Chains A and B, each alone.
Chain A
Amino acid sequence: GAGVSQSPRYKVAKRGQDVALRCDPISGHVSLFWYQQALGQGPEFLTYFQNEAQLDKSGLPSDRFFAERPEGSVSTLKIQRTQQEDSAVYLCASSLRGGTGKMDTQYFGPGTRLTVL
């Protein structure tokens, strides 16, 4: 079956522009996660959805970052007024179940590489 897909794969933005990054999770997966990966570093958590509910957004670095998953499937990560420090790979992951007390595998997409000039 299809894995997690993300689009676009590459995005170049001028400083100050808004960008929107899309994630299509594995069909039927309840949980969806966004991570940010700087060059040479491990991914860092941004936010987590269980179905359409955003249960944890503590990792979002500023109020310029906004994520949504309105129908509990596809998710969009939006970055307003992009800055050079936003340049990174943005990874989406999904897992089958959700809720505390349940730990299951997070499957990652290929990421979107954002470059802010």
Chain B
Amino acid sequence: GESVGLHLPTLSVQEGDNSIINCAYSNSASDYFIWYKQESGKGPQFIIDIRSNMDKRQGQRVTVLLNKTVKHLSLQIAATQPGDSAVYFCAETTRGNNRLAFGKGNQVVVIP
């Protein structure tokens, strides 16, 4: 299918290495943040979320870090695998607003 990730920042990572994907969010009032993974021809898939009262949350092989001072979010993927190749989006929203605002995507390419 057609690539989601045309002209996106690309991170190339060796299989087994750790990946770090960064995101700058725009709204200082945002209090809920989500990382989504999108493979070509598919819809975004939920990876992990974090609320603004936290600065770190861990999942299976993934960690999200939130720095509200500089409005920065990062996603760390441990031991990156070929199946992790995709475009990754951060999204933000506020408690009183159900709409998600997505950031610019980052394409991750895992080199076997």
**Interface positions of A (Cβ within 8 A of B):** 4, 31, 33, 35, 37, 39-45, 48, 55-56, 59, 91, 93, 95, 98, 100-101, 103, 105-111, 113
Asked, given contacts A4-B43, A39-B6, A111-B43, whether A33 binds B105 with beta carbons under 8 Å apart, the answer is no
Residues on the A chain within 8 Å of B31, using CB: 103
B72 to chain A, nearest CB (A): 17
B30 to chain A, nearest CB (A): 11
The answer to whether A110 and B41 have CB atoms under 8 Å apart is yes
Per-residue contact bits, chain B 14-45, to A (CB 8 Å; 1 contact, 0 not): 00000000000000000110101000011111
Asked, given contacts A40-B4, A42-B89, A42-B104, whether A33 binds B44 with beta carbons under 8 Å apart, the answer is no
**Interface positions of B (Cβ within 8 A of A):** 2, 4-8, 31-32, 34, 36, 41-46, 49, 51, 89, 91, 93, 95-105
The answer to whether A40 and B46 have CB atoms under 8 Å apart is no
CB-nearest residue of chain B to A105: B46
CB-nearest residue of chain B to A6: B43
Bound CA span A91–B4, Å? 13
Q: Which 9 A-B pairs have the closest CB atoms?
A: A42-B102, A108-B43, A45-B99, A40-B6, A103-B32, A108-B44, A100-B96, A110-B43, A42-B89
Asked, given contacts A40-B5, A40-B6, A42-B105, whether A110 binds B99 with beta carbons under 8 Å apart, the answer is no
Residues on the B chain within 8 Å of A41, using CB: 104-105
Residues on the A chain within 8 Å of B32, using CB: 103
CB-nearest residue of chain B to A39: B6
Taking each of A35, A40, A45, which has the highest tally of chain B beta carbons within 10 Å of its own beta carbon? A40
The answer to whether A48 and B99 have CB atoms under 8 Å apart is yes
Residues on the A chain within 8 Å of B103, using CB: 42
Bound CA span A11–B62, Å? 36
The answer to whether A59 and B99 have CB atoms under 8 Å apart is yes
Supply 20 further A-B pairs (C-beta < 8 A) apart from A40-B7, A103-B32, A103-B98: A31-B98, A39-B6, A40-B4, A40-B5, A40-B8, A41-B105, A42-B91, A42-B102, A42-B103, A43-B100, A43-B102, A45-B101, A55-B98, A56-B99, A95-B98, A98-B98, A103-B31, A103-B93, A105-B49, A108-B36
